Amino acid sequence: MFVTRHSNVVDPALREKLWRLYRTTYLPTAEATVTHEMLDQDEFNEQISRDSNRVWVVWSDSSPVAMTLVSTDVRATRWLSEIYFEKHFPDRYRAGQVHYIVWVVVDPTADAHGANVMLARQALTAEARDGALLVFDIPEVHQPAAKGGAAELLFRMAKLVGDVELLALSTQRYFALDFANLSATDVDRLSSPDELVKNA
């Protein structure tokens, strides 16, 4: 296995190989998570085409088996709040050191441990050299509690590179109001949206 680093990926054949890896490996997470975790192919291509994004790929012969994308410009990502980082980490924000792991995917049929370690050493070394505040989020399916899980795994791999601290930034929970069991009588008693607007 070997690692390559890319930005501004425009080669159609490479894009297609990386897209297949991403789609295949991310699909189970997308099926288990309420958020829009998995990008469509156009969104994916947009991300790997940006000069401000670093794409790291682990290869086994001519096949990609693991990949991560790190955004080096928090202002260019729709997933993080610039305002939050400008307020809570002003010096790091102004210095352009707030970076974001957009995704990490590993082919489950590959040597996951070996691929993860290779990917982490390469990508995290670059982040450490930049003095980055490397932000990442993890769906509950991979991080069921504050301790342990994928965050602990990434923290341990980061310690292979150097002195690092794991900061818990935020937790977000999703809820739903389910009206499926509303009886027909209750539905009949409800005002129509038009009536509610008239009475307002």
Decide: helix, strand or coil at residue 65: strand
- The DSSP letter of residue 105 is E
- Give the pLDDT confidence score for residue 189 in this predicted structure: 75
The full set of domain ranges for the chain reads: 2-173
Query: Stretch 46-73: mean pLDDT, rounded?
Result: 95
- 57, 66 contact by CB (below 8 A): yes
- Give the pLDDT confidence score for residue 149 in this predicted structure: 79
Query: Stretch 42-66: mean pLDDT, rounded?
Result: 95
Total Cβ atoms within 10 A of residue 49: 14
Residue type, 168: A
Total Cβ atoms within 10 A of residue 129: 10
d(CA 111, CA 66): 10
Q: Which helix (H) or strand (E) holds 53?
A: strand 53-60
- Give the pLDDT confidence score for residue 199 in this predicted structure: 57
Q: Is the pLDDT of residue 38 over 70?
A: yes
Radius of gyration of the chain (CA): 21
Q: Is the pLDDT of residue 196 over 60?
A: no
Q: Is the pLDDT of residue 115 over 70?
A: yes
Q: Is the pLDDT of residue 193 over 70?
A: no
d(CA 34, CA 79): 15
Where is pLDDT greater, at 179 or 26? 26
Over residues 156-166, the pLDDT tens digits come to: 989 999 999 99
- Give the pLDDT confidence score for residue 179 in this predicted structure: 78
Over residues 124-176, the pLDDT tens digits come to: 999 999 999 999 988 777 777 778 778 888 899 899 999 999 998 988 777 87
Q: 């939050």: which residue's tokens?
A: 84
- Give the pLDDT confidence score for residue 67 in this predicted structure: 96
d(CA 132, CA 92): 8
- Give the pLDDT confidence score for residue 191 in this predicted structure: 64
Complete DSSP assignment for 153-166:
HHHHHHHTTS----
- Give the pLDDT confidence score for residue 153 in this predicted structure: 86
Model-level pTM greater than 0.75?
Answer: yes
**Structural fold of domain 2-173:** Aminopeptidase (3.40.630)
Over residues 65-77, the pLDDT tens digits come to: 999 999 999 888 8
